[in-house]
């Protein structure tokens, strides 16, 4: 039974607190209720302690399990559904939270993980999870091989392109695909059932153009959120004077492209850069407007065909405002704090301090 949380407002994490114990208990019992594909992946990732040099940290494991639990076991389809199950008192206590939650017609989760704790590998594992469940036709309408990966700028964009395509060689301008993170044994088993069937086309920002024929094969489109500007409509003066109409905004082109598919998984890296509270002067940021248009456009085109539309955010600082006015994103389902990361020596600064401390001890000894 879902644990009820009392007196939750926007400055707390009601979903993460409620899910923590449930997810652990479920995982300890062997992930009951997941698909066969999911079970094979979870067992491969987390039950091979002595068989591999590389392994996921406990915080990465719990983040992956939390998303899978919400999606496969609870079957959550909207953020409102999650709150009604785990924290109805929070909705009753805050009109602003209720308004925020009810404005979303799809499932949206946020993983709050301290910087340096490996959010990118969690993202990669969740992509693999979705990809192979879709490929194996597990539970129709719940999985996808179409991914939109959103980043805040070119630095993170290049880092993720390195992860998917291998590091960029500045001398040749090429990438070595064999150096892609997805080539690591960590992410999927070898052989015909997994590794040999993983073929993902990687699209960069400029690859999506007007009138581009959408690919039939699985893909991930990696782009920065600034690309999502939509048509605002011409003003009266432009209409009267016959001013030249600006070329189609990138957001319109991307929305047209993505809406050709019945399903989509959205990964939002460094999500604090694009989110804005709906309650802030009633204004929406470019990101929120784009998602609303994309979701509605996909719904119109697919009619009665219901495919998955799922957003997963990653951030170390998922909140609006600061100080006493700090408001956490309401869709945080997992919280791994900086204090916890320091305690497990997962933060680079702590490693440095430990090394300096050890060196100092040896010197004075």
Beta pairing partners, 268: 150, 313
Delineate the domains of the chain, giving CATH numbers in brackets.
Answer: 14-231+250-364 (3.40.50)
Look at residue 26 in the predicted model and tell me its pLDDT. 98
Look at residue 243 in the predicted model and tell me its pLDDT. 46
Quickly tell me which residue has 């490693």 as its tokens: 351
270-291 as b/e: b if 16+ CB within 10 A? bbbbbbebbbeeeeebbbbbbb
Query: Cα separation of 35 and 63, whole Å?
Result: 18
Token digits of residue 57? 């940290």
Nearest to 290 by CA among 236, 345, 204, 226: 226
CB atoms within 10 A of CB 73: 16
Query: Cα separation of 162 and 169, whole Å?
Result: 10
Nearest to 200 by CA among 228, 171, 221, 220: 220
Look at residue 275 in the predicted model and tell me its pLDDT. 53
Question: pTM of the prediction?
Answer: 0.86
Contact 244, 237 (CB under 8 A): no
pLDDT tens series, the chain, 365 aa: 444 444 435 567 999 999 999 999 999 999 999 999 999 999 999 998 777 788 999 999 999 999 999 999 999 999 999 999 999 998 888 888 888 889 889 999 999 999 989 999 999 999 999 999 999 999 999 999 999 999 988 889 999 999 999 998 888 889 998 899 999 999 999 999 999 999 999 999 999 999 889 999 999 999 998 888 887 654 444 445 454 445 678 999 999 999 999 999 999 987 554 555 554 443 357 888 899 999 999 999 887 677 999 999 999 988 877 776 778 899 999 999 999 998 888 876 544 444 454 444 444 33
Look at residue 280 in the predicted model and tell me its pLDDT. 46
Contact 203, 222 (CB under 8 A): yes
Look at residue 103 in the predicted model and tell me its pLDDT. 87
Q: What burial class does residue 116 get, using C-beta atoms within 10 Å of its C-beta: 0-12 exposed, 13-18 middle, 19+ buried?
A: middle
């Amino acid at each position: 039974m879902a644990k009820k949380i009392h007196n939750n407002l926007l400055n707390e994490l009601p979903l993460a607190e409620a899910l923590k114990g449930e997810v652990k208990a479920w995982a300890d019992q062997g992930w009951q209720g997941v698909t066969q594909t999911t079970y094979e992946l979870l067992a491969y990732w987390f039950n091979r302690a002595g068989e591999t040099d590389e392994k996921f940290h406990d915080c990465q494991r719990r983040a992956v399990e939390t998303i899978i639990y919400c999606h496969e076991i609870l079957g959550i389809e909207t953020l409102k559904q999650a709150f009604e199950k785990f924290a109805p008192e929070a909705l009753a206590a805050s009109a602003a939270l209720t308004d925020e939650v009810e404005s979303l017609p799809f499932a949206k989760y946020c993983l709050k993980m301290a910087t340096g704790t490996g959010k990118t590998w969690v993202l990669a594992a969740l992509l693999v999870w979705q990809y192979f469940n879709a490929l194996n036709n597990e539970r129709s309408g719940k999985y996808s091989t179409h991914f939109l990966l959103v980043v805040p700028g070119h630095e993170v964009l290049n880092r993720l392109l390195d992860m998917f395509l291998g590091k960029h060689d500045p001398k040749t301008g090429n990438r070595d695909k064999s150096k892609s993170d997805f080539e690591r044994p960590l992410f999927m088993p070898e052989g015909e059932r997994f590794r040999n069937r993983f073929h993902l086309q990687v699209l960069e920002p400029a690859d999506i153009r007007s009138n581009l024929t959408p690919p039939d094969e699985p893909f991930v489109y990696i782009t920065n959120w600034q690309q999502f500007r939509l048509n605002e409509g011409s003003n009266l003066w432009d209409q009267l004077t016959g001013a030249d109409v600006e070329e189609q905004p990138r957001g319109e082109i991307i929305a047209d492209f993505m809406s050709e598919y019945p399903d989509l998984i959205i990964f939002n890296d460094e999500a604090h850069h694009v989110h804005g509270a709906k309650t802030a002067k009633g204004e929406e940021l470019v990101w929120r407007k784009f998602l609303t248009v994309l979701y509605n456009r996909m719904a119109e085109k697919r009619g009665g065909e219901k495919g998955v539309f799922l957003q997963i955010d990653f951030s170390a600082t998922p909140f609006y405002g600061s100080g006493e006015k700090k408001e956490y994103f309401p869709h945080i389902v997992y919280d791994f704090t900086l204090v916890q990361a320091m305690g497990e020596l997962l933060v680079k600064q702590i490693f440095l301090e430990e090394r300096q401390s050890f060196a100092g001890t040896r010197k004075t000894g």
